[in-house]
Structures are given as structure tokens and as C-alpha cells.
Structure 1
Amino acid sequence: MLIIPEALIAGLVSEVDALAAVSDCFASMARGGARNFPVVREALGQGRQYGFKSGIDVSGGMLGLKSGGYFPANMERGLTNHQSTVFLFDPDSGVPVAMVGGNLLTALRTAAASALSIDLLARRDAKVLGIVGAGHQAAFQLRAAARVRPWEKVIGWNLHPEMLPKLAAVAAGLGLPFEAVGLERMVDADAIITITSSPAASLMAAHVSAGTHLACMGTDTKGKQEVEAALLAKARVFTDEVAQSVMIGEAQHAVAAGLIEAGAITPLGDVVAGMQSGRQSDGEITLFDGTGVGLQDLAVAGMAVKRARERGLGFTVEV
């Protein structure tokens, strides 16, 4: 079994690599060549979340899982709040193939999924990017979004505004002006990324203008919520996987309230594969409910394993 520690990941998988891997993953899901297994996700108390995401990609020859979660006290320990590890197995024999550090890979694949939704669903003339949230993953989101569209300005809001200067510095590094705003100013954005760990909605329907695309990336557990359920009722909703969206994503609240039906949610993979249309008008609100699926983790981990083997990196152990 090949062990690839977290310290090696940055040199093996780039943001461009992650976008390609996630796009291929969505297409494979849409065509029936890959499927996710039910998510195990539990609250541990004190804001901690832990779980497993797993799946099999028959066409890609991968079987595996990601184990990890969110530990909000880690920053005080000098650690990243999101901690995860990906395990890959041979799909024919079940023999362990690799253990791969998953912290950076999770950030990269989450940002890639968001950027892919923006590229496919945002208006072609979108110029202002809004970001709700300024934690560790917000910087990845901003950089990935800047790869797919030529933004003219970034506006940002965070519950703790003292964190926004770090996001402003990332924008500056991309040559983009940044403005800290109140949530009511999100009406100025053509696309909005929400990337928080909020247990209650912060972005309301009144904060979103007609024609906006939203990439809601923070809700991945029962009870979490970033946007008002009424906003999904006003939007055409897309997701990585419908069952997961309804169970642990933003759609859980809108479906429970009877505002939308699961059957009205479109898998983003269907758009990637050309099986369904994306945005249908400039005035339409589109919303991507990015819950994060195990197959995305396998895709980027598989890329890391391929590169590590090519370069003779990592550590091999007998199992």
C-alpha cells in the first residue's frame, strides 16, 4: 500500500488538476459509470463533525472512502479545522492500494466543484463575485472561481469581519479589488459562493438579485444551513447528488418545508455530460447545492497516487 502524507499533496495535485478530475467525476456519475454510497455523518458536540464518504468508479477502476470531518478548535492547536484521509482499494479484490492525506485535496475538490458550477451556470457577462464566509476554504474558492471567469470585483461578508482582510489579500494577489460589505449588498453580485459552517441561514432571498448564480458549498450535515429555504424555491437547483442534497445539503430544508421536490433538482453531472441544459435565461437564479461526494475525493486522490508513483514519492508498506 502506498502512503502519501499531506505534505506531498501540494506538489502532486494542482487547482487545474482538481478541476479536470472533478469535471470527469461528474460526467462519470451522470453516465452511470460511478456511484456514491450513503454518507455517514455525525455531530460529536462542540461543533465537531465526523463521517465517511465513499463510492466506486467502475470506469476509473477505483473503490474507496474518505474519513474525516470538521474540528473547530484545531486552529488553536495550530492545525487545520478540516481533517481527512482518503483510502483507496482495488475494486476487484478489496486489497488496500493507498492511504492519502485528504486535507488539501478536500479544499481543492470543493473549490473545483464550485468553480465548475460557476463556469456552467453563471451568466456569461458575470463580473462581480460575492463570497459569504472567510474561513480556510474561502481562499480556495476565490482562486478557483478566478480561473473560470474574468471577474472585475469581489465583495465579501463574514460573521466575524476581522477575518476578511485575509480574503482581501487573496483577491489582491489575483489583481482583483475587494470590498467588505453587509449581506444586503450581495444583491450587487452576479455570482455568490457561500462557504460557511453555519447552523442557521445567513443569506436571504432578499439578498440575491435576479440572474445570480449561487454555489452553496458549506452545508454537508443534517441541520446545517447557509441560505434561506425560500431562495431555493425561487431558483433552478442543481447539485452533485440529489439524494445527498436532500439528506444533508441545502435542499434538506426546502424539501422538508414543501417548497421544492427532490425531482426538481438537476444533477450537475447531467449538464457536464450534455444530458440536460444549464442556465435557461439571464434572469434565472441558479443554485448549486454542493454537498461534496465521495467520488470527488477518490478522483483527486487517484490523481495524487498516479503522480506519486510516476515520481517515486510516498512510502510503500506491506498489508
Structure 2
Amino acid sequence: MHIVPEARIAELVTAEAAFTAVESVFAAMASGAAYNFPVVREALGHEDALYGFKGGFDRSGGALGLKAGGYWPHNLERRGLINHQSTVFLFDPDTGRPTAMVGGNLLTALRTAAASSVSIRHLARPDARVLGIIGAGHQSHFQLRAAAAQRPFDKVIAWNYHPEMLPRLGETATALGLPFEAVSLERLGAEADVIITITSAFSPSLMDAHVRPGTHLACMGTDTRGKQEVEATLLARATVFTDEIAQSTSLGEAQHAIAQGLITQDAITPIGAVINGTHAGRTSEGQITLFDGTGVGLQDLAVAQAAVAAAIAQGIAIEVSV
């Protein structure tokens, strides 16, 4: 079995490699060659932590395994650690033997950003020039960098519940050569061609009235029952895509629109169908497209496979007998 420590991931997996891995696994899911296992997520009753497992099997890519981990909300303030902690385990689908253990923290950030950037490549208008971001936490910086690779944006505008965090996001934009401005939600919706939401909110910040025709939205923060970043009526006005329909309707942004009877499950399309060419995706300039990115286990397995392959090729994977 190979071990790839968290500290080596940054030198092994680029944003481009993560994009390729995630795009490929979304396509495999849509074609029926890959599927996710039911998610297990539990409140520990200790340190206010949430802990769980996401896994799946990609027959075409040969990935079998799971990601174990969760969210410890006091890590940063008490221990100087990031709040999300995870590890990916891979297994040989032919024998069931473990093949790899991979640090999953940076991989999670990379695969989440890759998912939104896949949606931008396949669904945003080609002439999109203004990127809007709602949220300024750890993940927002990965989102910004990944999005900037998909369209020639002229500027970045952003809003956050805690505005004092926005200058750091501005530094990331500046490093990419993009002007940055903190704006109101109303202005963000009025100006942005692409909007990424990446918060952990349980009530919507972006309202239906904020969003103009032709916008593409990547809603990346809602991955738990009760969470919500955008007004439910926005999904009724948009053409909705997702990573996995079962998660979108149960714990993603679509859960609220479904519960209110605004849309049905049949109105949601796996983004892999667009990648495979079996769905047209965006069909008009004025169409609002929305990607409900809930985060699936197969994304983690795909990027972990890429990390292991790179670590072996570079001779830095740690091999142990099991």
C-alpha cells in the first residue's frame, strides 16, 4: 500500500490535474460507469464536530474507496489547524486489498474548486467577463483561481458575511492580475456574469431578484440538510445541473426548491450529461444556468488517484506492507 502524506499533495496535484480528474468522473457518472455510495454523516457530540464517509466505485477509472473525515469548527482557533479534516482510502477493485492512503485536506479544496470550474467551462457564456464570489473563507481562494482559468475575466467582485475577510481574497485576485472590489449583493447580482457561492450558510444571501438573465451560478457551499445559499425561487427560474441528483435533492441547494414544490427532480440534470454531449447545456445567452455542487465521494477518489500516480512516478510515495 502507498501512503501519500498531506504535506506532499501541493507538489503532486495541480489545479489542472484536479480539473481533468473531476471532469472525467462526472462523465463516468452520467454514463453509468461510476456511482457513489450513500453518504454517512454524524454529529459526534464532541467538539461540535461532524464526521462521516463518502465513497464510490468508478468502473471505467478503476477507483474504489472512500473519504473519511468531517468538520471540526474549533480547530483553527484552538489548534491552528484547518476546520475540515479528511483522509482518502483507495482499494483494488479486483481483490479488495488497500492500495493507498492519501491526505485529503488539500485534495478536498482542489476537487471542490475543480467541480465549479468544470461547470463554468461547460455552462457559462463564452463572453463572461465579471466573476462574482459570495464567501471569503479558505475555499474561496481555490474557487477564484480555478474559475479564472476558465474565462478571460476582467474583474472580480465579492461579498461576504464578514467583510473584514474580503481583502485577503482581493490579494488572490491581484496575484492573478484581476481588479477586485467588495460590493453589495445587489450590485454583485447586477454585474456578475458568473457567480460562485461558497459559504456555510443556513439561510439564503443571494436572492432571485439579484440575478440577471444570462448568469451562470456555481453553488458550492450547500452539502448538508438545512444549508442554503440562494433563494429557492431562483432554481425555478434557472436550468439546474448538479454533480449527483440524489444528493442535490436531499442535501444540496435543490432540497429547498423541491420541498417548496418549485421544481421536481426531473428538472435537474447531471453535469456529466453536458460533458458527454447528451445534454445541450446552455442553449441561449439569456438563460440562467445553476450548478448545484454538493460534493461526491467519486471526486475525492479521482483526485486521490491522480496524487498516488504522481507520487509513485516521482518516487515519493511511501510504500508499506499490509
Instruction: Give TM-score, length-normalised by structure 2.
Output: 0.97
Name 2:239's counterpart in structure 1: 236
Most deviating of 229-238 and 182-191: 182-191
1:304 counterpart letter in structure 2? A
Q: Partners of 1:237 and 1:48 in 2: how far apart?
A: 31
- The counterpart of 2:182, out of the listed 177, 180, 183, is 180
Deviation at 1:316, TM superposition (A): 1.8
1:86 aligns to 2:85 (yes or no): no
Could you report, residue by residue, the CA deviation over 1:52-71 in whole angstroms, capped at 9, with x for unpaired residues? 11000111111100111222
* Distance in 1 separating the partners of 2:171 and 2:113: 18
**Structure 1 counterpart of 2:279, which letter?**
Q
Distance 1:47 1:137 in 2: 21
**After superposition, what is the alpha-carbon deviation per residue over 1:62-92, rounded to whole angstroms, capped at 9, x for unaligned?**
1100111222212112111211110001112
* Counterpart Cα distance in 2 of 1:213 and 1:250: 15
**Equivalent of 1:251, from 227, 243, 254?**
254
Q: What is residue 2 of structure 2 aligned with on the other side?
A: 2
| Structure 1: 4+ residue segments shifted above 3 A | 43-48
1:26 aligned partner, one-letter code? F
Could you tell me which residue of structure 2 aligns to residue 37 of structure 1? Answer: 37
> 1:141 corresponds to which residue?
143
How do 1:234-313 residues align onto structure 2 when only pairs under 5 Å count? Answer: 234-313=237-316
Count of equivalent residues: 319
Cα displacement string for residues 243-274 of structure 1 (whole angstroms, at most 9, x for unaligned residues): 11111100011101110001110100000011
Offset, 1:242: 0.4
Cα distance between partner residues in 1 of 2:250 and 2:8: 34
Give the whole-Å Cα distance in 2 for the aligned partners of 1:306 and 1:28.
20
Aligned partner of 2:168: which letter?
K
- TM-score normalised by length of structure 1: 0.98
The whole-number CA distance in structure 2 between the counterparts of 1:20 and 1:266 is: 20
Residue of structure 2 equivalent to 1:64? 65
| CA-to-aligned-CA distance 1:124-170 (integer Å, 9 cap, x gap) | 11111000000000000000000111000100000000000010000
Aligned partner of residue 202 in structure 1, secondary structure? strand
- For residues 229 and 241 of structure 2, the distance between their equivalents in structure 1, rounded to whole angstroms, comes to 16
Match of 1:127 in 2: 129
Whether 2:199 is the aligned partner of 1:220: answer no
CA–CA separation in structure 2 for the residues paired with 1:43 and 1:125: 44
Distance 2:259 2:305 in 1: 36
Residue identity in the other structure for 2:64: L
Query: SS of the counterpart of 1:271?
Result: helix
SS at match of 1:280: coil
Query: Which piece of structure 1 moves more, 33-42 or 2-11?
Result: 33-42
Q: How much identity, in percent, do the aligned residues show?
A: 68
Name the structure 2 match of 1:20: 20
Query: Over aligned residues, Cα RMSD in angstroms?
Result: 1.1
- CA deviation string 1:166-225 (max 9, x = no partner): 100000000000000111112211110000111111111111111110000001111111
Alignment-derived partner of residue 152 in structure 1? 154
State the secondary structure of the residue aligned to 1:11.
Answer: helix
